[in-house]
Copies of this chain bind each other. A is one copy, B any other.
Amino acid sequence: MARLTPDIIVSAAIEVIGKVGFDHFSVRKLGDALDADPTAIYRHFRSKDELLRAMGDRGLAGVVDDLPTSSWRDCIRELCIRIRAANLAHPALASLVRGAPPRHDNELLITETILARLRGAGFDAETAALAYHAVIELTIGSAAIDSTLASAPSAARARIYAEWRSDYAALDAEVFPHSVEMSGSLYPGTADDRFVFALDRLLAGLATELASVLP
């Protein structure tokens, strides 16, 4: 009987990464947490990268459940917000960014769901594919950008944003007039708010595209 299984390893790995952070997550620490030799993990995953991908997919479980059925925009909007949240909660997903297509179950379900809604809305295959890539790129990219700060407590995050704003305010007003003038407006709201603003504008642009094609 196998003491270690991919599921057990992934669970332990998520726990460890939550404790030590993505940057300090190592196979050896995972081995300690499992009370097993670190190299035993290589009996179940070809490499650390493969493990990280599996961890990422675990975080996406249930992400396509009970999505709004009202409109394609509402559905995709909600799905993207959930994907982003999952990415931020499990920074392992950030490594998924690194040039690989969806291969695991939950990732495939996401692709299928988005494509289905887009086709159902009336997009032709080519445009639907482009639109799919567009929303995914914004969602994953945004998560990758925000993942570092997302792990900090919200008070610390607010302090960091305030620091950045004052950095802009301290610039030479001759060279960077707008940056100085608008320093108080930069990094408005939460990173989530900013993402949703971008996503809504992208979806609006896609809707315009659709309206121009439909009868």
Give me the interface of A with B, judged by CB distance under 8 Å.
97-99, 101, 103, 108, 111-112, 115-116, 119, 125-126, 128-135, 137-138, 140-142, 144-149, 164, 167-168, 171, 175-179, 181-182, 184-188, 194-195, 197-198, 200-206, 208-209
Contact = CB atoms under 8 A, between A and B. Distances in A.
A64 to B, nearest CB: 12
Nearest to A142: B137
B141 A185 contact: no
Nearest to A195: B137
A142 B145 contact: no
Contact of A141 (B141, B168, B177): B141
A175 to B, nearest CB: 8
Nearest to A111: B179
Contacts of A194: 130, 133-134, 137
12 contacts: A103-B167, A108-B176, A111-B168, A112-B175, A126-B188, A129-B182, A130-B197, A133-B198, A134-B194, A134-B198, A144-B145, A205-B208
User: What is the count of identical protomers in the complex?
Assistant: 2
Among A130, A140, A209, max chain B CB count under 10 A is at A130
Contacts of A179: 108, 111-112, 115
A115 to B, nearest CB: 4
A206 B201 CA distance: 6
A201 B198 CA distance: 11
B145 A141 contact: yes
Which 10 residue pairs spanning A and B have beta carbons closest together? A141-B141, A99-B148, A201-B205, A134-B198, A205-B205, A204-B205, A115-B178, A129-B185, A101-B164, A125-B185
A116 B182 CA distance: 10
Most buried by B among A97, A101, A144, A205: A205
